[in-house]
Amino acid sequence: MSAQTPAVLVVQEDGTIASQNRASLHLLGRKTGQRCWEAVGGLKGAEGLPCQEGCTRKLLASGMDRASHTPFRYAGQLHQLSCVPVDGAVVCALTRSANEQPRDWQSLTPRELSVLQLLADGETTASSATVLGLSEATVRTHVEKMRTKLGVNTRAALVAKGFQLGYLG
């Protein structure tokens, strides 16, 4: 699994969102059945998104080997919207460009990344332990090790630093 999980939407020819992944749900909320250009184009705080009525049909009409890649700013950071026609639908992915690379000593283990993602999703120590099949003490140990590695004092700061370093998408 990569350090950054893109927010992905599958959009039908008429612009209706057919499905979305967990990262998309986290970023946009549940938008299935809504028009893509309203859901993605309406992302509060985003600047430079190309979304407009009919953009899905236009992209599909341009051919299967055509894709749209547009940089935009969201929450003060550089992101990219990539829309790719696939079998009569368009797959759209919103990815964040990490503005800081983790140093070697800030590297997280796969288990730490799992715990960090659960914290970012709003899980508690107890629920994270249940999801991962670990004891609560083990989850607390992972959190403390990550706080030390990333130089932060709180879980909220840990999650924020995780986004800043590109561990969370």
Domain range 7-96, CATH class:
alpha beta
Alpha-carbon distances of 34 from 52, 82, 117, rounded to whole Å: 13, 19, 27
The pLDDT, as a whole number, for residue 139 is: 96
Q: Any bridge partners for residue 96, and if so which?
A: 79
Q: One fold for both 7-96 and 104-164? A: no
What pTM does this model have?
0.56
> Looking at domain 104-164, which CATH architecture does it have?
Orthogonal Bundle (1.10)
For 114, half-sphere exposure in the C-beta direction (CA atoms, 13 angstrom radius) is 14
Q: What is the pLDDT along the chain (169 residues), one digit of tens a residue?
A: 234 577 899 999 999 999 999 989 988 999 999 999 999 988 888 888 999 999 999 988 887 667 777 888 877 677 888 888 887 888 888 887 655 566 666 788 889 999 998 988 878 899 999 999 999 999 999 999 999 988 888 887 788 788 777 787 6
Predicted pLDDT of residue 3: 40
| Domains of the chain by residue range | 7-96, 104-164
